[in-house]
């Protein structure tokens, strides 16, 4: 998961949102101290002051929590849960760690935290017998689209509390209008639009691969969206669970399309050399300069903040905006999932609050990223976040980012395959064969 960590590091500098996620396992780090109140927060936050909202929790009751957030994100999380913590008198015993081995060891030893917030649904697949159904401890499923509820054996065991959509394309409505372009709604329309842009002498895409050790992750995201549009979400999930090999014909076809665009200077800024050498943050702003270097850039939700930071005079919705990746079956995205390993009044109070409409509204107003909770609608101060939240709420399906979900050796092989194909160092068949071998090895096949 080094990809996400690297661009989060850059985004932290830009004060952007996105769940922190690491690559190599980092040492577990204990949060500063158990607390009954956040270090920062909104003093006007709605309170939880009715006894039934606390499920019998007593002042001083402890709730242990594991998450990966740190720094400003950790503070923002505590601000998001402040109403229930303060209203019920809870004491939060938090731990921040990216160490997968620590997570597994604690769960397998029967010493799991009460609540775990994790950037994948992996623990649900591995430890479903240890988890507690959220609707049995106060969770309100009515506030979520099914895409954001993780189930196993018919039980609702996880909910996405924070998410970032990746199946979106950023563009300038002003530039589109000036050239007579319409936002595409189908995959075929998208391909036709790119071809029309080239015919008009415009470069359709800005593609920046460069991201240090994680170079290639932006291409991985783009290819996954092509797969969602051409093969569907079940196909992508098949790659994730190993039932579909990474050198399958569907993947090869997506590589053919993508590499054809990324390596051609008519379709991507600078062609292969430009795609490979341009930093992913630099690629985001190219469609919005004067004159624009490209018409579109496919990037996650955080890109809007990058554009706004670089060009503060531009107005969202007029000068820059986004559309859902045309034809994609649902949304590719990163998310942090809440899971409960223990049942107590304090746990019930937190689960009930975070999944309630009030909890979703306060999460949005606290500024801690995007919530798929329908209650968050209308409570984002930032119009970009408000629009992105609508994408989450309307998602028909959600597939995790392949590069963030697969094992490190497969992830590295996938990124290397993309780079090798675009650079011309390898054929598609040879590159995918190497990645598929890493996929099989990681999954014990």
Give the CATH number of the domain where residue 274 resides.
3.40.190.10
In 298-344, which ranges are continuous DSSP H helix?
A: 303-310
What pLDDT score was predicted for residue 194? 98
Q: Are 355 and 30 in contact (CB under 8 A)?
A: no
| pTM for this predicted structure | 0.82
| Integer Cα distance of 320 and 375 in angstroms | 26
If asked whether residues 218 and 177 sit together in one domain, one would say yes
What pLDDT score was predicted for residue 86? 96
If asked whether residues 184 and 264 sit together in one domain, one would say yes
Phi, psi of 37 (to 5 degrees): -150, 150
If asked whether residues 278 and 418 sit together in one domain, one would say yes
Cβ atoms within 10 Å of 31's Cβ, excluding its own: 19
If asked whether residues 362 and 413 sit together in one domain, one would say no
What pLDDT score was predicted for residue 33? 47
Q: Are 308 and 321 in contact (CB under 8 A)?
A: no
Quick check: is 23 in a domain? no
If asked whether residues 277 and 223 sit together in one domain, one would say yes
If asked whether residues 173 and 282 sit together in one domain, one would say yes
Quick check: is 140 in a domain? yes
Number of structural domains, the chain? 2
Q: Are 402 and 240 in contact (CB under 8 A)?
A: yes
User: Between the CA of residue 80 and those of 57, 84, 185, what are the distances in Å?
Assistant: 19, 9, 36
Q: Are 300 and 165 in contact (CB under 8 A)?
A: yes
pLDDT tens by residue, 224-264: 999 999 999 999 999 988 999 999 999 999 999 999 999 99
DSSP codes, 375-395: GGTT--SSHHHHHHHHHHHT-
Quick check: is 259 in a domain? yes
The residue among 237, 401, 236, 392 whose CA lies nearest residue 334 is: 401
* HSE-CB for 215 with a 13 A CA cutoff: 16
What pLDDT score was predicted for residue 402? 81
If asked whether residues 284 and 433 sit together in one domain, one would say yes
What range does the domain containing 128 cover?
28-165+335-395
Q: Which residues of the chain have pLDDT under 70?
A: 1-51, 404-408, 444-445
| Integer Cα distance of 216 and 211 in angstroms | 7
If asked whether residues 319 and 350 sit together in one domain, one would say no
What pLDDT score was predicted for residue 441? 86
């Amino acid at each position: 998961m080094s990809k996400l960590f690297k661009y989060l590091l850059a985004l932290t500098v830009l004060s952007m949102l996105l769940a922190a996620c690491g690559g190599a396992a980092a040492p577990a780090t204990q949060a500063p101290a158990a607390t009954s109140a956040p270090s920062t927060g909104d003093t006007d936050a709605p309170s939880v002051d009715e006894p039934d909202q606390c499920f019998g929790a007593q002042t001083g009751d402890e709730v242990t929590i594991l998450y990966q957030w740190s720094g400003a994100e950790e503070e923002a999380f505590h601000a998001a849960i402040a109403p229930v913590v303060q209203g019920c008198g809870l004491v939060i015993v938090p731990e921040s760690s990216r160490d997968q081995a620590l997570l597994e060891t604690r769960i397998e030893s029967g010493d799991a935290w009460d609540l775990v917030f994790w950037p994948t649904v992996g623990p649900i697949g591995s430890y479903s017998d240890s988890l507690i159904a959220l609707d049995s401890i106060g969770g309100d499923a009515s506030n979520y689209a099914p895409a954001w509820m993780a189930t196993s054996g018919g039980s609702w065991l996880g909910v996405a509390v924070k998410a970032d959509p990746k199946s979106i394309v950023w563009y300038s409505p002003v530039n589109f209008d000036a050239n007579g372009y319409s936002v595409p709604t189908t995959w075929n329309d998208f391909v036709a639009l790119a071809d029309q842009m080239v015919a008009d002498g415009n470069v359709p895409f800005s593609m920046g691969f460069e991201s240090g050790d994680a170079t290639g992750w932006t291409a991985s995201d783009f290819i996954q969206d092509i797969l969602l549009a051409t093969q569907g979400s079940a196909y992508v999930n098949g790659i994730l669970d190993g039932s579909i090999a990474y050198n399958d014909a569907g993947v090869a076809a997506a590589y053919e399309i993508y590499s054809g665009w990324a390596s051609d200077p008519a379709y991507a800024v600078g062609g292969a050399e430009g795609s490979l050498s341009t930093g992913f943050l630099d690629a985001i702003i190219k469609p919005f300069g004067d004159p624009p270097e490209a018409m579109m850039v496919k990037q996650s939700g955080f890109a809007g903040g990058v554009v706004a930071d670089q060009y503060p005079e531009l107005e969202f919705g007029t000068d820059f905006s986004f559309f859902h990746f045309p034809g994609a079956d649902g949304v590719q995205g990163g998310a942090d999932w809440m899971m409960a390993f223990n049942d107590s009044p304090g746990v019930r109070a937190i689960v009930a609050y975070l999944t309630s409409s009030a909890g979703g509204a306060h999460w949005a107003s606290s500024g801690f990223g995007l919530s798929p909770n329908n209650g968050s609608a209308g409570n984002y101060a930032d119009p970009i976040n408000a629009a992105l939240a609508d994408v989450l709420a309307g998602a028909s399906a959600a597939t995790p980012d392949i590069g963030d979900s697969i094992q490190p050796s497969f992830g590295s092989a996938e990124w290397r395959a993309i780079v090798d194909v675009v650079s011309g160092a390898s054929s598609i068949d040879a590159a995918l064969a190497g990645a598929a071998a890493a996929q099989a090895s990681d999954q014990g096949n």
